[in-house]
Structure 1
Amino acid sequence: MIQVSVIVPVYNAAPFLPLLFKALQQQSLADIEFVLVDNGSTDQSAALIAAFAAGEPRARAFSNRQVCGAAAARNTGIAAARGEWLGFVDADDWIAPQMYERLQTFAQAGQLDVAYCNAACFKDQPGDDTGTMLRRPKPAGILSGRDWLVACHQGGEQIASAAVSLVRRSVVLEHDLRWPEGCAVDDEIWTAELLLRARRVAFLDAALYGYRSNPGSASRSIEPQRVQWRIQGFRRVAETLWHLAEPESPPVRSALNAIADRNGLAALGALKQLADSPLRRATFAQLREGGFVQQLRRRNGGLKLWRRLLKEQINCLMAGR
Structure 2
Amino acid sequence: MSKPQVTILVAVWNTAAYLPQCLESLRRQTLRDIQVVCVDDASTDESLAVLRHYADLDERIQVVALPKNQGQAHARNVALRQAKGEFVCFLDSDDWMADDCLEQAVCVFRAHPSTDSVLFHTLYYYNESRQDEFSMKPFDVLRGDEAFVLSLTWKIHGVYMVRATIHERYPYDESARAFSDDNTTRLHYLASREVRTCQGTYYYRQRQTSVSHQFNLRRFDYLVANQSMKRQLVALRVADDVLNLYENHRWLNVVDMYMLWFKHRTSLSTFAQRRALALIRDSWRSMEGQRIKPSLRRKVGYMPCKGHWRLFMLQENGYFFLRKLMGRL
The TM tier, using the shorter chain, reads 0.7 to 0.9
Instruction: Note the C-alpha offset of 1:172.
Output: 2.1
1:146 maps to which residue?
145
Structure-2 separation of matches of 1:285 and 1:297: 19
Contact 2:8–2:90 at 8 Å: present in 1 too?
A: yes
Mark the CA change 1:7 to 1:262 in structure 2 (over 3 Å): closer, same or farther.
Answer: farther
Report whether the alignment pairs 1:122 with 2:136.
no
Distance 2:223 2:154 in 1: 21
Contact 2:183 2:225 in 1 (8 A): yes
Native 8 Å contact 1:20 1:93 kept in 2: yes
Q: 1 CA distance for matches of 2:137 and 2:101? A: 21
Number of residue-to-residue matches in the alignment:
298
Report the Cα distance in structure 1 between the residues aligned to 2:255 and 2:87, rounded to whole angstroms. Answer: 35
Structure 1 partner of 2:326: none
The answer to whether the aligner puts 1:187 opposite 2:181 as a matched pair is yes
Task: Tell me the residue number matched to 2:207.
Answer: 214
Alignment of 1:18-29 (within 5 A): 18-29=20-31
**Paired AA for residue 10 in structure 2:** V
Aligned to 1:197: 191
Q: 2:275 aligns with which of 270, 277, 283?
A: 283
Are 2:4 and 1:31 equivalent residues in the alignment? no
Supply the AA of the counterpart residue of 2:301.
K
- Which 5+ residue runs of structure 2 have no aligned equivalent? 304-310, 319-329
SS of the equivalent of 2:212 reads coil
Q: How does 1:47-58 map to 2 (within 5 A)?
A: 47-58=49-60
Residue number among 296, 301, 304 corresponding to 1:304 in the alignment: 301
Counterpart contact for 1:10–1:41, Cα < 8 Å = yes
1:82 CA drift (Å) = 1.0
CA–CA separation in structure 2 for the residues paired with 1:267 and 1:184:
15
Tell me what 1:131 maps to.
Answer: 132
Q: Which moved more, 1:274-283 or 1:108-117?
A: 274-283
Q: By how many angstroms is 1:284 displaced?
A: 4.5
Classify 1:185/1:58 alpha carbon distance in 2 versus 1 (closer, same or farther; 3 Å). same
State the SS of the aligned residue for 1:80.
Answer: coil
Query: Residues of 1 paired with 2:280 and 2:137: CA distance?
Result: 38
* Aligned AA (2:98): A
TM-score, with length taken from structure 2? 0.81
Deviation at 1:217, TM superposition (A): 1.6
Structure 1: distance between partners of 2:66 and 2:27: 24
> Which residue matches 1:40?
42
Offset of residue 261 of structure 1? 3.3
Give the aligned residue type for 1:15: A
Secondary structure at 2:73 match in 1: helix
Secondary structure of 1:8's aligned partner: strand
- Which secondary structure does the structure 1 equivalent of 2:68 belong to? coil
Give the TM-score of the pair, scaled to structure 1.
0.83
Give the Cα separation in 1 of the matches to 2:151 and 2:73. 24
Q: Deviations over 1:178-212 (max 9, x none)?
A: 332543112321112222222222222x3601011
Partner secondary structure for residue 35 of structure 1? strand
Question: Is 2:124–2:205's contact at 8 Å kept on the other side of the alignment?
Answer: yes
Counterpart CA distance in 1 for 2:27 and 2:46 is: 20
Distance in 2, Cα, partners of 1:136 & 1:288 = 30
Alpha-carbon offset, residue 293 of structure 1 = 1.8
SS at structure 2 position matched to 1:121: strand
CA separation in 2, counterparts of 1:192 and 1:288?
Answer: 23
Distance apart, 1:77 and its partner CA? 0.7
State the SS of the aligned residue for 1:117. Answer: strand
Q: 1:216 to 1:104 in 2, by over 3 A?
A: same
The residue aligned with 2:260 is 270
Which residue number in structure 1 is paired with residue 321 of structure 2? none
